[in-house]
Each structure stands twice: as structure tokens, then as C-alpha cells.
Amino acid sequence: MCAHAVRVAVKKIDGIDSVQVSLNRGVVVIRLKPENRVTLEQLREAIRRNGFTPKEADVRARGTVVQDSGHLALALPGIGAAFRLTVDSQAPATIGELERVRGQVVTLEGRVRETARWATALPSLEAHAISKDAAR
């Protein structure tokens, strides 16, 4: 169980562009290919299988901001995933900004906390940057 094993296991997942593992910093940096169908849980499972515990992750994701039973969520229907949206109080992104882009496709950057494998609730994405990018 080592950095190399984690890198190989993650790189094997279809849709991964590059993987950098730094055990000194305790971080795995993963860049994904356009049109990939990779989920965060898939990556975390590959890391767990190699003896490490995945903690929080800073992610950049593109999806549609929707309302889900009274809460805002970022839907990634292509990969069957969604994140409940919350706001980092230290960051300029606010719930108001998210409300204004409801129904639109945006790119969000934010933090996803550690989640239990058996959790049934949506994972939360604490947004700190929003950009509307109609085209890629």
C-alpha cells in the first residue's frame, strides 16, 4: 500500500486524465477527461481499497443548479449524481448568487466533506466560486 498503488488504482478508472499523489501533503490531485462519467465515490473507493481514508475533497464540477425539496442542489444527471449546495461563509459565493443561477448550467468550485459509504443523504458541496460557462 503506497502512493504508487493509489495512483495506479485511480488511473485505471475510465475517464481519468492525470493523477498526482503526494503522501507528504496527504493529497491526491485528479484531473478528469471531458465527458467522463466518474463519480467522487468511485475515486474514494479506489483510495480506500489501497489502505487510505479519504477525507474532504476540493472539487470543480459543472452541472445544473436545481431545487430539491426546498434545498439547492447541483445535478450531474449524466453520472447520476447530485450535491446539496451550501455556502462557505468566508467566500464571496452566497446563497443569493446560487438562487440567481437556478436552472442554469454553471461550474462550481467547493469542498465536499468526508461522507460515509452508507450515507443516504446527498453529499454537501460547500461552494466558494461560481462561474457561468455556457460553452466548453
Asked if 67 contacts 80 with a C-beta cutoff of 8 angstroms, the reply is no
How many whole angstroms from its chain centre is CA 75? 11
Q: Is 6 helix (H, G, I), strand (E, B) or coil?
A: helix
Ramachandran region of residue 50, left (φ > 0), alpha (ψ -120 to 50) or beta? alpha
The reply on whether position 123 binds other proteins by CB under 8 A is no
Indicate which single residue of 12, 49, 62, 132 sits in contact with other proteins (rule: CB under 8 A). 62
Quick one: angle between helices 3-11 and 40-49, nearest 10?
140
The reply on whether position 131 binds other proteins by CB under 8 A is no
The reply on whether position 78 binds other proteins by CB under 8 A is yes
Footprint on residues 89-118 left by other proteins (CB under 8 A) = 105, 107
Question: Least separation, in Å, of the C-beta of 42 and other proteins?
Answer: 10
Q: Is 97 helix (H, G, I), strand (E, B) or coil?
A: helix
How many whole angstroms from its chain centre is CA 6? 18
Binding residues for other proteins, total number by CB under 8 A: 53
Question: Least separation, in Å, of the C-beta of 88 and other proteins?
Answer: 15
Binding site for other proteins (CB under 8 A): 1-2, 6, 23, 26-32, 34-40, 43-44, 47, 51-64, 66, 68-69, 73, 75-82, 105, 107, 120-122, 136
